[in-house]
């Protein structure tokens, strides 16, 4: 994968990867996915639900195959294997060649179709605009994860079938004791009717770009959405970096939520206390710092893609 310091220009690779090279990178990717979420993916395939991790697939409309599948990104050619011992690798190329965005070359290799890059130019521009707007603002770290609390405020129908850690009445008291400072529309739109007027801003899809800021856990998680939306233009390694960070952010999101997830191994961040709020800000800040770096890398890569259109 091309690399550069965050925010610095990236030059797209025009490499031809030998079968041995791309198979090694593919195996490394699959091993990393297994380490991150292998047991969860197997449980999910059996129909089991998970209130924390399912979000990364259901909300973002991503299939496990989007994470498991390795691809090198735009401009890299996966060379076809020879006739000896290459049947499994040939099958991999056959599968890729049937997917949207890929093309076969005359010698049997597979690469991302340049026509697909042109087709996705509008999505690239929109993503860059959102990334630039987010990066232009200072991180705001005073929301304390209250968006999840606002989603269960004064309702008998919480979003997850998990008990509330403090119970309904005390949960309402927490919401009423602190200001709601959510800046992310895709969290705000799930607030209950009673909670929505309590937010400091009324958020809409049209004005989303005016409010996004790098301290928001959901803005950081959305880097993963940007990568999977633009696949296979984006190298799988970068997509998996974004997925790993989104996983960390989602876990903090739910540990600080009103739900009791201790039976699943998640210790709560008790944001109803001063110590809990301080813990939340420390972890939120660390995630935001990682997000700044990843956002810069992704933006540089998208800039190179736009230059190649």
Q: How many residues does the chain have?
A: 309
Is pLDDT larger for residue 158 or for residue 231? Answer: 231
Would you say residue 221 has pLDDT above 90?
Answer: yes
Task: Report the C-alpha gap between 112 and 76 in whole angstroms.
Answer: 8
Rg of the Cα atoms in the chain: 21
Residue 200's pLDDT is 96
Beta bridge partners of 78: 17, 110
Shortest CA distance to 216 belongs to which of 161, 178, 253, 170? 253
Residue 245's pLDDT is 98
Share of the chain above pLDDT 90, in %: 85
Diameter of the chain by CA atoms? 69
Mean pLDDT of 210-238: 96
Structural domain boundaries in the chain: 16-112, 121-308
**CA torsion, ordered 186, 127, 31, 28, to nearest 10 deg:** -170
- Report strand pairing: 16-17 vs 77-78: parallel
CA end-to-end span of the chain, whole Å? 19
pLDDT tens digit sequence for 179-198: 999 999 999 999 999 999 99
Residue labelled with tokens 């259901």: 58
Structure tokens given for 241? 């970096």
Task: Report the C-alpha gap between 192 and 168 in whole angstroms.
Answer: 14
């Amino acid at each position: 994968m091309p690399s550069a310091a965050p925010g610095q220009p990236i030059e797209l690779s025009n490499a031809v990867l030998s079968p041995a090279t791309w198979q090694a990178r593919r195996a490394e990717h699959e091993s990393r996915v297994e380490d991150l979420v292998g047991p969860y993916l197997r449980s999910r395939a059996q129909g089991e639900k998970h209130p924390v991790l399912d979000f990364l697939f259901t909300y973002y409309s991503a299939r496990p195959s989007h994470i498991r599948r390795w691809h090198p990104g735009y401009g890299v050619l996966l060379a076809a294997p020879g006739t000896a011992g290459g049947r499994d690798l040939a099958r991999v190329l056959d599968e890729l060649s049937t997917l949207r965005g890929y093309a076969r070359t005359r010698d049997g290799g597979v690469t991302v179709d340049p026509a697909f890059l042109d087709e996705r130019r509008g999505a690239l521009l929109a993503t860059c605009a959102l990334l630039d707007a987010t990066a232009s603002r200072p991180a705001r770290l005073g929301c304390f994860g209250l968006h999840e609390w606002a989603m269960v405020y004064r309702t008998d129908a919480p979003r997850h079938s998990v008990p509330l850690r403090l119970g309904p009445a005390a949960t309402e008291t927490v919401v009423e004791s602190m200001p709601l400072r959510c800046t992310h529309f895709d969290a705000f739109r799930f607030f209950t009717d009673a909670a929505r007027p309590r937010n400091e801003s009324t958020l809409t899809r049209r004005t989303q770009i005016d409010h996004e800021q790098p301290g928001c856990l959901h803005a950081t998680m959305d880097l993963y959405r940007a990568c999977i939306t633009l696949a296979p233009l984006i190298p799988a390694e970068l997509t998996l970096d974004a997925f790993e960070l989104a996983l960390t952010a989602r876990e903090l999101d739910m540990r600080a939520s009103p739900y009791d997830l201790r039976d699943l191994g998640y210790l709560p961040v008790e944001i109803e206390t001063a110590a809990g709020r301080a813990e939340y800000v420390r972890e939120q800040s660390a995630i935001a710092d990682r997000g700044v770096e990843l956002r810069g890398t992704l933006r540089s890569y998208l800039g190179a893609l736009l230059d190649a259109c």
